[in-house]
Structure 1
Amino acid sequence: MGGRGVELDRSVPALLFKVGRYPLHQGSVGAVRSLGRVGVAVHAVVEDAFTPTALSRHLRGRHVWPTTGLEDPAALIDRLLWIGRRLPARAVLVPTDDEAALLAAGAQDRLAECFLLPKIDPDLPADLADKRGLYRRCLAHEVSAPDTRFPDDREQLLFHARELGYPVVVKNLAPWDRLRAPVVPGTTLVRSERALLASVGAPRGVLLQAYVPRESAQDWIVHLYAAPDGRCAPVFTGLKLRSWPPHAGVTTYARALANPGLARRSARLCRAIGYRGPADLDWRLDLRDGRYKLVDFNPRVGAQFRMFETDRGLDVVRALHLDLTGRAIPTGVQREGRRYVAEHLDVAAWVAYRGRVGVARPPGYPPARGGLEPAWLAWDDPLPAAATAVRALAAAVRRCGR
């Protein structure tokens, strides 16, 4: 459970921050445990006092602030600074969603009064989290990506969908849109023109992406930390095996698997664009042409980051704290085969996948080993799992009622 050789500066606290109301956020609980277990005082912005994050025994301070994403960004920064001034010392800021990461990067000079955060081009995270911006970056740096179209009206929507062919993937364009004016609830696989018109009321604000059939694909995850000198360490790689909703949603079951070529490709892209800080990249290997295609670049800590750690106990959140407090990031080898499961979602995913994994497995796929990292259940921190079970059950009852 501990750092096993990773020594963090315990005099420097950390504050976790996200925007929007989604209390069942496994990345926040993982970050609290990662830093809290090695003695760092962790504070977190939470929706209410009974979220899983708020109930973790490793949390030193909870700051109840139910944001929606509809607020004026300047007001969000003001409130964040208000919290920062009440912390015992200047803290490492850990954004755990895209909106928080974009907000922090854009206001990094103001936030430096109370927080430590990576120095980065203020516009770069927004450009990477925006699907149009990411696609342009891929083209500019000769990085493969799924064939993508950006319709401006209904006529272009239908034309581009026919051009790409059904089924086609529909996504919201920009991070803030999913909170303020979502066109689709998330990544949506549309199988016909009728379903497309039913799903997309106003074409502006969405993109269409060519679908790579699941039987011809592998979904790979890369989590890394990019230091100020451009070096990326650590760089972790893993394979997404199930998701919810099936084949298009968040990771519910995955395994850490070494993929040195993909690790080098991801680090090279970060150096080329000048990225700094933690990142979560989603790549889809198209087995039909053998190319890894970049699907998402999340400029922050990924929700399933605790799947990855080195043999010395280093993960990307600990790397962030080490770097921002002036400590060296130790080298190490990725713990191979380590599994991750988001319990509250993987039950439904397991049923949908009929107990199987959802992608073609690579040659030489090793047997299960390396340990299991549940998103919620931890023997030294049981309350987050209990809170998650209660909230997930309540949500299921409400859905059944509707």
Structure 2
Amino acid sequence: MKIGNYPLHHGGVGAIRSLGRLGVPMYAITEDRWTPAALSRYLRGAYPWPTTGTEPPEQLVEGLLRIGRRIGRPSVLIPTDEEAAVLIAEHQEELKGEFLFPRTEPELPRRLASKRGLHELCTQHGVPSPEAGFPQSYADIETFAACARFPVVVKNLEAFVRRRRPAVGGTTRVDSAERLLALARGWGPSPGVILQEYLPREEAEDWIVHAYFDQDSTPLAMFTGVKVRSWPPHAGMTASAYVVDNPELADLAGQFIKQIGFSGIIDLDLRFDRRDGRYKLLDFNPRMGAQFRLFENEAGIDVVRAQHLHLTGRGVPEGEQRAGHRYLVENIDLPAFAAYRRSGYTTPHAPTHACDTELAWLARDDLKPFFTMLLRFVRPGVKHLFQMWRTHRGAGAPRGTVRRDEGTSRPGEGNS
């Protein structure tokens, strides 16, 4: 299940392939019939349902129940974004007749998906996280700017605002008080942002944890890895990552989940700060992460397979994770590779060579999603260049003049 318009979502394709290859009938909510997920050979049925994330929850629940009745038997429900995870948790009673999903405290996923809620939980349970401020007004931002050490990071307070009118387009580094105050003038009386300590990339490493926890918050599958590249650089979704064993990080994640009592799949982003030797929790995604196929144990279990086995009353085979395995997202790793090479940044814990590599889109046994991705990824860029050419030609601009088109689209827009 997904809410919102992001058709180039490799995580959904990964889930369809992961279970579909084992003979599990797979169904998906898609933006239209021509998304990569909708054209996977392992998809039994696509349900085109364009949503924005601004619909009333009752409307979304009723639409989901209609799909469940059309499928005709209990189905394991896998959310691919925060909105879907929160909707499922807060409407468990209505959905439990048609779907199987981990039962957790109804309000917990919303708190975890919120920057403020996550920061409060980290503080409450002694989990390291970057220092943060939550301004309620422009005056609060002025006070912060007067004593803060720059640069700082600005993020939207709630994950859900990306479907509406976010204050910033994503994780944004701000290098001076003057720049922060200039940005804040456009945020209105209620800024809706978190002002966070900047952890310099020269002194930090990005780590990820994926796991599945049962109703007692016991991990049935637990994986750790290091993020090598992301797009946008150092602040966006994973473009390249390796599996790296990290027992300390696994213990930290397991203890935190036990303390808060969460059940289900998690996707955590942490940054290791070499200045104080601590892992600091940046993001908690209470759902399947787009790069979950990076991780699989020796028994062939990933977090999606673990959830399916557990919710259908079967045991989850144990095994060591495949250390050295690499994952690449083709459409975003190429620009990420170029950006990281220019900056000279490297990840110390990344293996020199991968023992094997899994691509997010290209698979020999399921080629249509890859070629569909290419068409949908390239077309907006070509269209934008054509529009720029027409504008330039129609305006009669002299040779050498460059015009800025403010309507630039972001190919492959999605969530991490």
1:137 has 2:124 as partner:
no
Does the CA contact (< 8 Å) of 1:322 and 1:329 recur in 2? Answer: yes
Q: Which of 282, 307, 321 does residue 320 from structure 1 map onto?
A: 307
Aligned match of 2:14? 30
Deviation track 1:110-146 (CA, whole Å, cap 9, x = no partner) reads 1011000111100000011111010010011000000
Determine if the alignment matches structure 1 residue 268 to structure 2 residue 255.
yes
One-letter code aligned to 2:174: V
What amino acid sits opposite 1:219 in the alignment? D
> What is aligned with 1:292?
279
Contact 1:215 1:360 in 2 (8 A): no
- One-letter identity of the residue aligned with 1:78: E
How do 1:3-402 and structure 2 match up within 5 A?
17-200=1-184, 201-202=186-187, 204-354=191-341, 358-362=345-349, 365-400=350-385, 401=388, 402=405
Shift of residue 394 of structure 1? 1.6
Any idea what the Cα deviations from partners look like across 1:8-56, whole Å, max 9, x if unmatched?
A: xxxxxxxxx0110011111101100001000100000000111111111
The alignment partner of 1:230 has SS state of coil
Counterpart CA distance in 2 for 1:158 and 1:252 is 36
Classify the secondary structure of the residue corresponding to 1:263: helix
In structure 2, the residue corresponding to 1:295 is in which secondary structure? strand
Distance 2:104 2:259 in 1: 13
The range that moved more, 225-234 or 82-91, is: 225-234
Checking the alignment, whether the CA contact within 8 Å between 2:216 and 2:261 is kept in structure 1 is no
Contact 1:216 1:288 in 2 (8 A): yes
**Deviation by residue 1:302-348 (Cα, 9 ceiling, x = unmatched):** 01000000011100000110111011111110001111111111111
| 2:209 and 2:223 in contact (8 A); partners too | yes
Measure the CA separation in 2 of the matches of 1:130 and 1:77: 21
TM-score after normalising by structure 1: 0.92
Q: Secondary structure at the match of 2:159?
A: coil
Deviation at 1:249, TM superposition (A): 0.9
Distance 1:357 1:385 in 2: 30
CA contact (8 A) 2:227 2:240 kept: yes
Task: State the Cα distance separating 1:355 from its structure 2 match.
Answer: 6.9
Q: Is the 8 A contact 1:241 1:358 kept in 2?
A: no
Cα deviation 1:205-250 (Å, max 9, x = unaligned): 1101111000100000000001113211211000011111111111
- Whole-angstrom CA distance in 2 between matches of 1:273 and 1:134: 11
Q: CA RMSD in A?
A: 1.5
Residue 160 of structure 1: how far off its partner (Å): 2.0
- Indicate if the aligned counterparts of 1:242 and 1:357 stay in contact, CA closer than 8 A: no
Q: Which amino acid aligns with 1:43?
A: Y
| Distance in 1 of aligned mates of 2:384 and 2:371 | 20
Residue 356 of structure 1 deviates from its aligned partner by 7.7
Question: How far apart in 2 are the matches of 1:178 and 1:117?
Answer: 25
CA-CA distance at 1:390 after TM superposition: 1.1
Report the alpha carbon displacement of residue 154 of structure 1 after superposing the two structures with TM.
Answer: 1.4
In 1, the alpha carbon distance for the partners of 2:365 and 2:182 equals 47
Alpha-carbon shift at residue 175 of structure 1 (Å): 1.9
Q: Relative to 1, partners in 2 of residues 1:139 and 1:37: Cα closer, same or farther, differing over 3 Å?
A: same
Give 1:174 deviation, angstroms. 1.1
For structure 2, the residue ranges without an aligned partner over 5 or more in a row are 389-404, 406-416
Runs of 4+ aligned structure 1 residues displaced above 6 Å come to none
- Residues 1:79 and 1:213: Cα distance change in structure 2 (over 3 Å): same
Corresponding residue SS for 2:336: helix
Q: Distance in 2 between matches of 1:175 and 1:243?
A: 19
Residues 85 and 351 of structure 1, relative CA distance in 2, 3 Å threshold: same
Q: Give the CA deviation at 1:189.
A: 1.3
Q: Quote the offset at 1:359 in angstroms.
A: 4.6
TM-score (norm 2): 0.89
Query: In structure 2, do the counterparts of structure 1 residues 25 and 357 end up closer, same or farther at CA, with 3 Å as the change threshold?
Result: farther
